[in-house]
Chains A and B, each alone.
Chain A
Amino acid sequence: QVQLVESGGGLVKPGGSLRLSCAASGFTFSDSYMTWIRQAPGKGLEWVSYISSRSSYTNYAASVRGRFTISRDDAKNSLYLQMNSLRVDDTAVYYCARERELDTAMAPFDYWGQGALVTVSS
C-alpha cells in the first residue's frame, strides 16, 4: 500500500536551516508529482511547493520562494524540502503528499504522510 513517511522535523532558531525528507513506498514514485503542504498549529492548510516527475518543474508559494528548495531522489524514492532562513511563522506541521493524477500538478492530493513538526523559536 502507498506510504509516505516524513522525517527531519525539530526545533530550530530563527534564521536557521532544516531539511525535511519524505520516504515513499507502494507506488511508482518516479512517475508522480509530489507536494509539500503545511499547517500551522490550530490553523488551516497552506500549499508550500510541488515538484514534477523527473524534477522538470518546481513551484513555490510566495511565502517560501527563495528560502525553500524542493527536490527528489527517484533512486531512493525520496522527496526533500530544504528550508533556509527560517522564520517564526514557518512553524507548522509539514506534510508530503502525492498528486492523484500523473504528469500534472493540477490534481488533488490522494495520499498524505503523517507530518513532521517544525518549530522555529529562539
Chain B
Amino acid sequence: DIVMTQSPDSLAVSLGERATINCKSSQTVLYNSNNKNYLGWYQQKPGQPPKLLIYWASTRESGVPDRFSGSGSGTDFTLTISSLQAEDVAVYYCQQYYSTPITFGQGTRLEIK
C-alpha cells in the first residue's frame, strides 16, 4: 500500500497570509507513460463531504479559486493557499489514485491565527 504522510498535522495562518501543506507518498505516484502524477487534494469543512480542489497534482478543479495551487512530482507534493480567507478554514487531505488501495493522508487542520 502507498502510505501518504502530510505535514504539519495542524496549521494556523493569519488572514491574507500564505498557507502551505505538504504531502509525501511512500512510493512514486508519477505514471511514466503519461507523465502524470496521480495525486489529488481535497478540502473538508465540518459536517460536509470532502471537496476536490486539485487533481493530477496541479490542475485546479472547475470553480476552485485561483488562490489554491498544487505542485510537486514523484513523491513530494505541496498545496498552497496564496492568501488565506476565512472560508478556507477546513481539514485538507491529499490522496493518491495511482494504485489500489487508494489512500489518503491523515489530514491537515487549517485555522486562522
What residues make up the interface of A, taking CB atoms closer than 8 Å to B? 35, 44-47, 50, 59, 61-62, 95, 97, 100, 105-110, 112-115
* CB within 8 Å for A45 and B50 given contacts A100-B55, A106-B38, A108-B95: yes
Q: Which residues of B contact A61 (CB under 8 A)?
A: 101
Using C-beta atoms within 8 Å of the partner chain, give the interface range for chain B: 20 to 34
Q: Are B103 and A47 in contact (CB-based, < 8 A)?
A: yes
* CB within 8 Å for A114 and B100 given contacts A44-B93, A44-B106, A108-B55: no
Q: Which residues of B contact A46 (CB under 8 A)?
A: 104
Q: Which residue of the partner chain, among A44, A59, A97, contacts B100 with CB atoms under 8 Å?
A: A59
The 3 closest A-B pairs by CB, nearest first: A112-B49, A108-B40, A47-B102
Q: Are B97 and A106 in contact (CB-based, < 8 A)?
A: yes
Q: Are B104 and A62 in contact (CB-based, < 8 A)?
A: no
B84-104 toward A: CB 8 Å interface, digit per residue (1/0)?
000000000101011111111
Looking at the assembled complex, report how far the CB atom of A33 sits from the nearest CB atom of chain B, in whole angstroms.
11
Q: Are A108 and B100 in contact (CB-based, < 8 A)?
A: no
Q: Are A113 and B101 in contact (CB-based, < 8 A)?
A: no
B41-54 toward A: CB 8 Å interface, digit per residue (1/0)?
01000001111100
Q: Which residues of B contact A45 (CB under 8 A)?
A: 42, 50, 93, 95, 104, 107
